Chain A
Amino acid sequence: MLEENLPLVETAFKKYYFENFNLLPVPTRSSEREFGYQKFNGGMNRHIGIKSNEELRLMLITNNPSDVYCSNGYYSFPNLPMSEKDWKEADLIFDIDAKDLNLDCRKEHTCIKCLACSEISSLQLTCPSCKSTKIEIKSVTCINCINGAKQEVFKLKKILEEDLAIKKEKIQVYFSGNEGFHIHVTDSVYQKLGSRERNDLVDYIMFRGIMPETFGMKKYKPERSSFVNIDDKGWRGRASKHIFGSKSKRSKAITEIISDPNGYTIFQHKLENLRDVIGVKIDPNVTIDIHRIFRLPGSLNSKSGMSKILCENLETINPFSDACFIDDEKTDIVADCPIEFTLKNKKFGPYQNEKVTIPKYAAIYLICKGLVNAT
């Protein structure tokens, strides 16, 4: 973040925490969790113990952080170094990021910033100004991406509830504050799973590592009777629906597969291709990590200036309005954003390195995204 823009963002964040402190109550069992924060253009401060709302408020006022984090893990001594914390258990957490969906619309709201000459331009492989290949990809999010991410959340919730028998009320969905959703599962039977077990759970959710035999397709002498049914629960039924289409087409499809000498390989490829369609696109590293500090619900995301908020109704939530809490005071900045974006139902951009007067929430958004220049 440019030093020149820091005071504006710092003041806006401070004001948010002062006026909206009720949006970030400390999570349950806070005395067993590790907290952390980052300061603007500063490093990470971890291993902090916070027991109450008052202590959290004091931390926010004293440090004016850019980002605030809290562990999904529970420890006997959360404020000691990692090796001495004594890990007890951890909530299951999932991160779904619109960036990972690679939707067609993404190129329309992505641009590049040259790391050599700082020139911001439309999406391309090299800087048009200095020809450097050292570029940083910058993107804003569109409602299409958010809707795509929502679909992934629905897929995930279905697996958590139907396959893993996690009760609805134990699953909380949050808008991440930037380009996706965070899903927290608290107080479930899976709390004590370690990293390795979570890794296998991740593969299950992402539909990775599937074998044709799981669906009844044998390598040698495949038999019709061993194939699973479309009505089966779990992945067997869900994937069969995609492979065979419908009950009436199943029989013919099986005949084709078992009579083809390359049937096994064909079936294997079908399953691999299906992974991108039916597997849930979660970030595996987040779920595997049992010592992670994860963005605190209600806190601001310094990548956008928006808040991480609870989605009570995922269908209807529009984060570009509902998670945008910075006020609309007129603000002057030099915007350099070759792509359009929408906040609070208002369209902004494109701006070509020009001085503009826009509401503060949009100015903060551009600064956080790094799409501004010094005046």
Chain B
Amino acid sequence: MTDLGQDEMSKYPFLADAGQYLKDQGFTLDQFGSDPDLQLFLDKAIHRIKSAANGILYKSDIKDNETSSDATLPIEVFSFLLAVILLKLNGNNTLIRKFSLAEARRAEDYLKKDLKEMSDKVELAKKIIYSLSSITVENADKKNEFFIPVYDYLKHSVHFHEKEWKLINRHVEDGKVFLNSEKVARLVRSELSNFISKKILSANSPSMVTGFKKSLEELASLAKKYYVPTMISTEYPPCIKHAIDVMEKGENLPHSGRFLLGTYLLGIGKSIEQIAPLFKNAPDYNEKITMYQLNHLKGSSGSGTEYKCPSCERVKSKDLCFATSDCDGIINPIQFKKKKILNA
């Protein structure tokens, strides 16, 4: 990808070649499990995963946008690498997604700061963004203002549902969209998260290290929280099956997909209490917000409007349709069950 300095390695540890780094530092995995002096790294790794699981950004020891001491670098990098190994040994997808999202948000913070700095850090931040998202970021004339091509902007911004991300609410001229460092970094968060999770999922599974047993037990009890009794029913249309599947894997379902899932299940008579656990595995899950949003869809809060399940056409336009021949003749997913019953 790119040559990383000491600071960058701490800020963006996922860019490092894990195996190579351990080798370069002269450590083996077994040492981390057996050497009491290295227990600190393992504790930090667990702390990093737990913070992510609770939706809290892991506070690193980097101060003033630079590694504070010689000791910081190994702690930052080793704790990340060990966390990856522990997650890989544990194998829970939701934990991996949550960890990836939290690490992405942490990296996003550094990207934001690095972009703002008037040093070679800016160029490195731009390089990282380009490598992960193929977005070419360029400096505009004003301080803390950048521009990216309209095409790249649209490709990324459509995943956000807040109105401020609509192209109409951006400064656009000559094929460019102007953004400050916060917005540029936010735009690539999902790429950061995907990069990290892919890296974890595609990594070779390490063999069990005896000294990790206790840490893994801790993770196993943490993962239990994310077990959801499966809800798949053969009577669900394929678009809903797909949405449930994505949620269960702990992957990120776009807002429109969550809307579809919520309105469909409410529409067929499921209660909010039955539906809410499905969202538990979402990387950005927040119980309060989920309950509020489901109540809002049901019309029991806010304006009192009850939201209906979107039409097949609408679902299609959001790339959420996975129609099969069983869907023939229906114009709304809600009709699927009824059609099945009629055909039975």
Q: Which residues of A contact B (CB under 8 A)?
A: 162-166, 189-190, 192-197, 199-201, 203-204, 207-211, 213-214, 232-236, 288
Bound CA span A166–B151, Å:
12
| Segment touching A, from B44-52, B161-169, B230-238, B295-303 | B161-169
Whether B173 lies near A214 (C-beta < 8 A) is no
A193 to chain B, nearest CB (A): 6
Residues of chain B within 8 A (CB-CB) of A201 are 154, 167
- Whether B317 and A196, one on each chain, are in contact in the complex, defined by CB atoms closer than 8 angstroms, is yes
By a CB distance below 8 angstroms, the chain B residues around A165 are: 150, 174-176
* In the A-B complex, the 6 residue pairs with the closest CB atoms: A165-B175, A233-B173, A197-B154, A204-B167, A214-B169, A196-B158
Interface string of B292-323 (1 = CB under 8 A from A): 00000000000000000000000001110000
A165 CB to closest chain B CB (Å) equals 3
Mask of B169-182 contacts with A, CB within 8 angstroms, 1/0: 11111111000000
Are B168 and A208 neighbours in the complex by a CB distance under 8 Å?
yes
Answer whether residue B91 sits at the interface, using C-beta atoms and an 8 A cutoff.
no
Residues of B within 8 Å of A203, CB to CB, are 166-168
Q: Is B59 an interface residue (CB 8 A)?
A: no
Query: B90 interface residue, CB < 8 Å from A?
Result: no
**Which residues 119-168 of B sit at the A interface, judged by CB distance below 8 A?**
149-151, 154-155, 157-158, 163-164, 166-168
**Of A164, A194, A232, the contact of B175 (CB 8 Å cutoff):** A164
Bound Cα distance from A162 to B173, whole angstroms = 7
Partner pick for A288 among B151, B163, B317, CB 8 A cutoff: B317
* Bound Cα distance from A208 to B168, whole angstroms: 7
Complex: chain A residue closest to B318, CB-CB:
A196
16 further contact pairs, Cβ within 8 A, besides A193-B151, A196-B319, A214-B168: A162-B173, A163-B174, A164-B175, A189-B151, A194-B319, A197-B155, A197-B158, A200-B154, A200-B157, A203-B166, A204-B167, A213-B164, A233-B173, A233-B174, A234-B172, A288-B317
Residue of B nearest to A288 (CB): B317
- In the complex, what distance in Å separates the CA atom of A234 from the CA atom of B149? 15
**Which of A163, A166, A195 contacts B317 (CB under 8 A)?**
A195
A207 touches B317 (CB 8 A): no
Which residues does B use to contact A, with CB under 8 Å? 149-151, 154-155, 157-158, 163-164, 166-176, 317-319
B151 and A199 form a contact (CB under 8 A): no
Cβ–Cβ < 8 Å partners of A208 in chain B: 168
Bound form: Cα–Cα A234–B194 in Å: 34
Q: Which residues of A contact B319 (CB under 8 A)?
A: 194-196
**A contact residues around B170 at 8 Å (CB):** 214
**Option from A193, A197, A211, A232 in Cβ contact (under 8 Å) with B163:** A211
User: Contacts of A235 on B, CB cut-off 8 Å?
Assistant: 168, 172
B150–A164 CB distance below 8 A: yes
Complex Cα distance, B151 from A194, in Å, reads 11
When the two chains form their complex, are residues B149 and A211 in contact, meaning their CB atoms are under 8 A apart? no
Asked whether A236 and B171 contact (CB < 8 A) given A196-B319, A200-B154, A200-B157, the answer is yes
- Specify which chain B residues have a CB less than 8 angstroms from the CB of A196 in the assembled complex: 158, 317-319
Q: Report the Cα distance A192→B167, complex, angstroms.
A: 17
- Give, as a whole number of angstroms, the nearest-CB distance from A163 to chain B: 5
- Please list 30 pairs of residues, one from A and one from B, whose beta carbons are closer than 8 Å in the complex, sorted by A's number: A162-B173, A162-B174, A163-B150, A163-B172, A163-B174, A165-B150, A165-B174, A166-B175, A190-B150, A193-B151, A193-B154, A193-B155, A196-B158, A196-B317, A197-B158, A199-B158, A200-B166, A201-B154, A201-B167, A203-B167, A208-B168, A209-B166, A210-B168, A211-B163, A211-B164, A214-B168, A214-B169, A232-B171, A233-B173, A288-B317
Contacts of A163 in B (CB 8 A): 150, 172-175
What's the Cα separation between A235 and B167 when bound, in Å? 11
Which residue, B151, B155, B176, has most C-beta atoms of chain A within 10 A?
B151
